[in-house]
Amino acid sequence: MVKVGVMGYGTIGSGVVEIIERNNSVLAGRIGDAIEVKSVLDIREFEGDPIHDKIVHDYKALAADPEISIVVETMGGVEPAFTFVKEMLENGKSVCTSNKALVADKGAELFQIAKANGVSFLYEASVGGGIPIIRNLSETLTAEVIEEIAGILNGTTNYMLTMMSEEGWEYEDALKDAQAKGYAEKDPTADVEGFDACRKIAILTSLITGRTVDFETIPTEGISKVTATDIKYAKAMGRAIKLIATSVVAGDTYVARVAPYLVPSTHTLYHVSDVFNAVFVHGNMLDDAMFYGSGAGKLPTASAVVADIVEIAKNPGKVIDMSWSDEKLVLGDVSEMTTAFFVRTKKDIAAVKAVFGDVELVTAEGVSGEIGFVTPIISEKDFAAKSSALGDVIGYLRMK
C-alpha cells in the first residue's frame, strides 16, 4: 500500500485527493500496488467534510509518520512550504509539488536535499498545469538540443487577452470579468504583470540547462499596458497579442523574456485561446512541436501532481532526477536580442522614417490621431535609442 500525505487542502490539494479516489483502481494497476491518501495537513478542520478524519495540523507529525512515503505540497508560496518540504525530504519522503514559487526559488537546494536522502523531488504541476511539459523536456525529448521555448504559461492573462480580442474590451473590463469568474485574484499583480510566467520560464530554462536561472534577472512585462487600440492594430495585421514567456539559445547560454508579443496566425500559439496554456518547443532535430492543454484548474493541475506520485510509487528506492544544480546560469544580454517592433506614436511619418528608416505603416479601423508602424528587425538596444530619439511613443509590442 502506497500511503500519501497532502500538505494544503485548497484547490489543487483537494483535486489530488479526488483523483486518487476516483481513478483509484487505474492508478493501482499502473503502480502495481494500492494507493490511498492517509493524512492531509491544513490549518482548517473541515468539520462535516469526509476529509475531516484525515486532517492533521502538525507538519512534524506528518514527517514522522513512517507509513507515509510520498508527500504532496500544494500550499503555494515559498514559506512555510520550503520548511515543510525540507522536513519531509529529510525524513525520507519523496515530495511532489505544484508550487512554482518554491521550485523557482529553492529548486536546486531541494534537489540536493532529496538526493542526499535518497528520495525524489518532482514538480510537474508547477508549470503548465495539466500539460506534462516538465516530463517532456526531461524524459521525452531526450534526443534534442532545445533551441527555443515559447510558452503561453498563464491562463488568467490569456483569458483576458482573448476577451479583449473577442469583445473589444479595455484591459480593466477584462480584468473585472476574470476576477468575477474566479480566474484572477483580488490582487492580480502576479498574473497580469507576468511574475507568474517569469517563474515558470525560469524553471523550464533551469531544467533544460541543468543550472539555476535567477528569475529576477528575466526582463518581465505583463499585459497591463495592452489596450483595446493595440488589439485593433493586431487584428489589422492578422495577429493576436499573447503574453509569451520565452527562452532562446544564445551561444552557450539562453536569453529569456516575458512580454506581450504580436503572434502571426501562421504560428501555432496564435490559436491558443481562453484559459488554455501551450508550450511551443523548437528542438535542433525535432523542429517545431507544441504541447497544449489546461494550464490551470483543479483537476488538470492535480492530474500532473498524481502523475508525479505514480512515477515515484512505480520506482520504489529510485531517485527520479529532474534536477538542476545550484550553479547559476548567467542569461544572455537581452539588449543584443533582435526583433521587429510594432510602435504607436504621435509623431508624423517623416519623423518616423528619419529615425527608423524603412518602416511598414499599419492602419486600424477607428484609430486616428496617431500612427502605427512596424520597424525593421533591430536590437533591443537600438530600439530603445531610436524610440527615445523619436519621442511621443504611445506604446510598442514585439513581433513574434
Q: Is 155 in the site for a second copy (CB under 8 A)?
A: no
- The active-site residue, picked from 200, 242, 298, 400, is 200
Selected binder of a second copy within 72, 259, 304, 364 (CB under 8 A): 304
Q: Is 268 in the site for a second copy (CB under 8 A)?
A: yes
Q: Are 152 and 127 in contact (CB under 8 A)?
A: no
Indicate which single residue of 294, 345, 375, 387 sits in contact with a second copy (rule: CB under 8 A).
Answer: 294
215 contacts 202 by C-beta, under 8 angstroms: yes
Q: What is the DSSP letter of 130?
A: T
Q: Is 297 one of the binding residues for a second copy (CB under 8 A)?
A: yes
Residue 243 or 310: which CB sits closer to a second copy?
A: 310
Q: Note whether 34 binds a second copy by CB under 8 A.
A: no
Q: Closest approach of Cβ 19 to a second copy, in Å?
A: 5
C-alpha cell at 264: 502571426
Among 311, 322, 356, 387, binds a second copy (CB under 8 A): 311
Q: Give 3-state DSSP helix, strand, coil % of the chain, rounded to 5.
A: 40, 25, 30
Burial group, residue 170, by CB count within 10 angstroms (0-12, 13-18, 19+): middle
Residue 199 cell numbers, joined:
517563474
Q: Would you give the DSSP letter of residue 267?
A: S
288 binds a second copy (CB under 8 A): yes
Q: Does 286 bind a second copy (CB under 8 A)?
A: yes
Distances (CA, A) of 179 to 149, 188, 192, 294: 29, 8, 12, 18
DSSP secondary structure of 189-224: HHHHTSHHHHHHHHHHHHHHHTEE--GGGS-B--ST
Work out how close the CB of 209 gets to a second copy at its nearest, in angstroms, rounded to a whole number.
12
204 binds a second copy (CB under 8 A): no
DSSP string, 140-202: ISTT--EEEEEEE--HHHHHHHHHHHHH---HHHHHHHHHHTTSS-SS-HHHHTSHHHHHHHH
Under a CB-based contact definition with an 8 Å cutoff, are residues 297 and 129 in contact?
yes
Grid cell, residue 173, equals: 473590463
Stretch that binds a second copy, among 112-120, 126-134, 168-176, 182-190 (CB under 8 A): 126-134
> Is 144 a binder of a second copy (CB under 8 A)?
yes
Closest to a second copy by CB, 132 vs 194, is: 132
Residue (318 or 346) nearer to a second copy, CB: 318
Give CA–CA dist 33/399, Å, rounded: 51
Determine whether 54 is an active site residue.
no
Applying CB under 8 A, the span of 93-101, 138-146, 190-198, 345-353 interacting with a second copy comes to 138-146
Contact region for a second copy (CB under 8 A) — 100-108, 134-142, 163-171, 329-337? Answer: 134-142
Q: Which helix (H) or strand (E) holds 94?
A: strand 94-97
What is the nearest approach in angstroms of a second copy to the Cβ of residue 370? 33
- Which of 49, 79, 216, 287 touches a second copy (CB under 8 A)? 287
How far lies 131's CA from each of 59, 310, 343, 370, in Å? 30, 16, 34, 41
Which CB sits closer to a second copy, 146 or 362?
146
Q: Which is nearer to a second copy, 34 or 361 (by Cβ)?
A: 34
Q: Given candidates 303, 323, 345, 387, which one binds a second copy under the rule CB under 8 A?
A: 303
- The one-letter code for the residue type at 253 is T
132 binds a second copy (CB under 8 A): yes
Looking at the DSSP bridge assignments, the partners of residue 94 are 70
| Total interface residues for a second copy by CB under 8 A | 44
Identify which range of 57-65, 195-203, 287-295, 326-334 contacts a second copy by CB under 8 A. 287-295
**Smaller CB separation from a second copy, 97 or 303:** 303
Query: What are the grid coordinates assigned to 133, written together?
Result: 511539459
368 binds a second copy (CB under 8 A): no
Binding residues for a second copy (CB under 8 A)? 19, 22-23, 26-27, 30, 130-132, 135-136, 139-145, 268, 271, 283-294, 297, 299-300, 302-307, 309-311
Q: Which residues are catalytic?
A: 200
